[in-house]
Amino acid sequence: MKNVTLVFWISIAICAILVIWGASSPDQLESVTNTLTSTFSTGFGWYYLIIVVFMLGFCVYLIFSPYGRIKLGEEDTKPEFNLPTWFAMLFTAGMGMAMVFWTTAEPISHAFINAPEAEAGTDQAIQDSLQYAFFHWGIHAWAVYAVVALTLAYFKFHRGYPGLISATLVPLFGEKSMRGFPGTLIDSLAVFATVVGVASTLGFGTAQINEGLAFLFNTPNTFFVQVIVLVIATVLFIISAWSGISKGIKYLSNLNMWLAFILLIALFIVGPTLYILDMFTSTTGNYISNFFNMSFRSAPLDEGTRDWIDAWTIFYWAWWISWSPFVGIFIARISKGRSIKEFMLGVLFVPSLVCFIFFTVFGVSALNLEQNGIAEISQYPMETATFAVLQEYPLGFLMSLVTIVVIAVFFITSADSATFVLGMLSSNGSIDPAGIVKISWGVALSLVAAVVMYFGGTQGLQNTLIIAALPFSVVVLLMGGSFFKTVRDERKQSKAKKSKAA
């Protein structure tokens, strides 16, 4: 318990320092972290590209390897959640409300503002825009989550270790080391990444809900309104957190996936349906045929292209790594009882396909408006781009209302998932942290979000999270190595026992 207390206080101290810095000197925090983020992207871009491909290759190997039959639990353990619920919870934790605004904002940016390869506004730029959205939100991102989640689930449910990041490294460094300062530092980094990442997301989500209300109902776009939204959301996600993962998050995740798909189908019907189908088919082909070229694309001889890669691809790869402790722990918690093969197939491909569908329907609907001169979506802020798109189609107002609800529920499930993860990390890896612990973390997350929103330090905190991704990427690689070493040894021991029995 002493080690857990130290983890808690180290994490709180680091977060407090950053919040105070972001509140007192937001411009300075943003400037310093922008410089560091740029330096890391430029100096370690090649490293991010290689390790993410390596993680993906490792995940694909496990699907076809003999280890794929190993269960995340005892041999007779049954999955706690059925497949539809499991998929819904995977998606809401891994992507959440980002899917609502990036699905329009990113393709529009790639096509009409800053294209990845061709000149902005050309047919090629429009085609590339969706292809790179698939690339950034597809199986590369989920491979990062999968490595962390699988390792945690294996050691927790199959080997009986505490549900802590540090515990997964015991086979490499020994129990004494991982119970000492190195383990404390690793777990503190995981808590810090979760707090900063989720607090930044809460601030951004609050702002988007306010923007949506302002766009639809002329609600004042002020800090006071944002605080009201944040307070209401906090009360709702605390109620959900108190009810437990098998009730609150489960029901909200299922509800939101239904609402999101209703919205998706409605836009597909009233939008440019044939164009959406053609673009999905074409983009899927381009994504597959250019898969390895995009995966290793670093453009060392083209400064402009390299700047784009740093700003988008390298940023995303660092972002997924920085979010992996939060998302990985949550995915691990909901995956007990599944085989490694089933886990990998579900985590890698199902959420990726859902992302592709959402990006195609929302992204192509946005591209269609700007291509045909109906509306300049590229002129809108990212927070209002989706609402600007929906208003140009039939049932626009109704779809916008549903969008606000979807954002709000994604908002609640993300915060709810985060309070569970933080409770788990500060309760010695318990998979059922006490309600009061989760509530305390929920209140803390909302307070951090409110303070940073007021002083305008959100970008600085997001940059800090990206900076933390570099050291944590080493931890993720070590986790994968520890997992492989342990399953290999387990299989050798199993073979030896069978030989003796024969």
Q: Show me where the domains of the chain are located.
A: 2-493
Average pLDDT in the 367-387 region? Answer: 91
**Least confident piece of the model among 102-111, 211-220, 342-351:** 211-220
**Would the pLDDT of 492 be above 50?**
yes
**Tokens, residue 436:** 């009061």
**Tokens found for residue 99:** 């899917």
Q: What length is written for the chain?
A: 502
Residue labelled with tokens 């939204």: 229
Report CA-CA distances (Å) from 411 to 15, 33, 457: 21, 26, 20
Which class for 288: exposed (0-12), middle (13-18), buried (19 or more C-beta within 10 A)?
exposed
Report whether pLDDT(80) > 50: yes
pLDDT on residue 1: 39
State residue 392 phi and psi, 5-degree precision: -85, -5
| Predicted confidence (pLDDT) per residue in 422-469, tens digit | 888 877 777 777 777 777 788 888 888 887 777 776 677 677 778 888
Amino acid at 225: V
pLDDT reading at 331 higher than 70: yes
Torsions phi, psi of 299, nearest 5? Answer: 45, 60
Averaged pLDDT score across all residues of the chain = 86
pLDDT, mean of residues 69-78: 88
* pTM of the predicted protein model: 0.90
Q: Which two tokens stand for residue 485?
A: 């070493």
CATH topology of domain 2-493: Amino acid/polyamine transporter I (1.20.1740)
Give the model's confidence band at 91: pLDDT under 50 very low, under 70 low, under 90 confident, else very high.
confident
Residue (of 99, 143, 164, 237) closest to 473 by Cα position: 143
E-strand ranges in 198-323 read none
Counting Cα atoms < 13 Å in the Cβ hemisphere of 154 gives 28
| Whether 131 contacts 286, CB under 8 Å | yes
Mean pLDDT on 121-143? 95
pLDDT of 244 strictly over 80: no
The predicted pLDDT at position 457 comes to 63
- Provide the token pair at 226: 């944002």
| Residue 186 clears pLDDT 50, i.e. is over it | yes
